Amino acid sequence: MPRPEISFEFFPPKNIEATFRLWDTVNVLAPLSPRFVSVTYGAGGTTRDLTRDVVATLTKHSGLRTAAHLTCVEATKDETLEIARGFKAAGVRDIVALRGDPPKGAAGFTQHPGGFANSVELIEALSAEGNFDIRVGAYPDKHPEAADAQADIDWLKRKLDAGASEAITQFFFETETFLRFRDACVKAGIDKPIVPGIFPVENWKGARRFAEGCGTKIPAWVCDAFEKAGRDGRSDLLATALCTEMCSDLIDEGVDKLHFYTLNRPELTRDVCHAIGATPEARLEKVA
């Protein structure tokens, strides 16, 4: 099996304990030589400063190529671009550009007065700034706000044409979901990489909540399997097996890049990576 290129998503920690957990996660996963790691931007723009501090620290101290997520929420265009310039000043050239989700409790996305109306406007502005490698989100199960699957893919094409270099998908539970989506993207004229987002589920209740929030469909058999494994205390085993099988099937179908949603918990992601051949690279200086 060819070794896929891998990347990892982290979120910014909000307290000291969480900071140590993030650093532990980085230490466990960094030896797998990820293509890049990315750091989320809290819903409603809530972790703006933390995201900046974490990407700056990771860039400086971990040696990992680090991407900052950036959204259009709750900020003017100038404020958003100032944040992007701050990333650049910290040596961060990779941005995951998103429209973003609204603050908790809000019904839907509302354009901030003076802010970007949508992700395409943000991508165009970041492209005009120059020197950013821009990635965007994509939705194999369809974004809940899209009129239909085709409209969602047409919009994704507009995001990529506006200056993004690749798309990372929302998580999904069945390989076929991604493969159908990838075929539809190719049919729509998309020729940039669509990287599957992989979610090794550590907490089934939380995963169900995420899935409901972002429109990821949960097949009945997955639900049954996790409910049963939970009762038997074997959820981790199930999650690792399902995720490994899905990654392996994706690789068989020609997928050469995988992006893991780690939720700052490294164990399951590490185990799946090892199982698909993404193991620590031996360093000559360590074995000599």
Report the catalytic residues: 9
Helix and strand tally (H, E) in the chain? 11, 8
Token match 């004229």: residue? 189
Of 73 and 229, CB closest to ligand FAD:
73
In the chain, the amino acid numbered 223 is C
Of 188 and 237, CB closest to ligand FAD:
188
Token match 């009945």: residue? 220
- Min dist CB 237 to ligand FAD, Å, is 27
Of 168 and 225, CB closest to ligand FAD:
168
Question: H or E segment at 149?
Answer: helix 149-161
- Min dist CB 143 to ligand FAD, Å, is 4
- Name the nearest CA neighbour of 239 among 207, 200, 274, 208: 200
For binding to ligand FAD (CB under 6 A), which residues are involved? 40-41, 43, 69, 71, 96, 98-101, 118-119, 137, 139, 143, 145-146, 151-152, 155, 168, 170, 197, 214
Of 128 and 237, CB closest to ligand FAD:
128
Q: CA-CA distance, 213 to 25, in Å (whole number)?
A: 25
- Min dist CB 196 to ligand FAD, Å, is 10
**Nearest 5°: CA angle at 116, between 113 and 117?**
90
- Min dist CB 182 to ligand FAD, Å, is 15
- Name the nearest CA neighbour of 10 among 23, 2, 1: 23
Q: CA-CA distance, 41 to 59, in Å (whole number)?
A: 16
Of 101 and 174, CB closest to ligand FAD:
101
Q: Could you tell me if 163 and 97 are in contact, meaning their C-beta atoms sit under 8 angstroms apart?
A: no
Counting beta carbons within 10 angstroms of the beta carbon of residue 105, is it exposed (0 to 12), middle (13 to 18) or buried (19 or more)?
A: exposed
Q: CA-CA distance, 148 to 93, in Å (whole number)?
A: 33
- Min dist CB 97 to ligand FAD, Å, is 7
Q: CA-CA distance, 132 to 164, in Å (whole number)?
A: 9
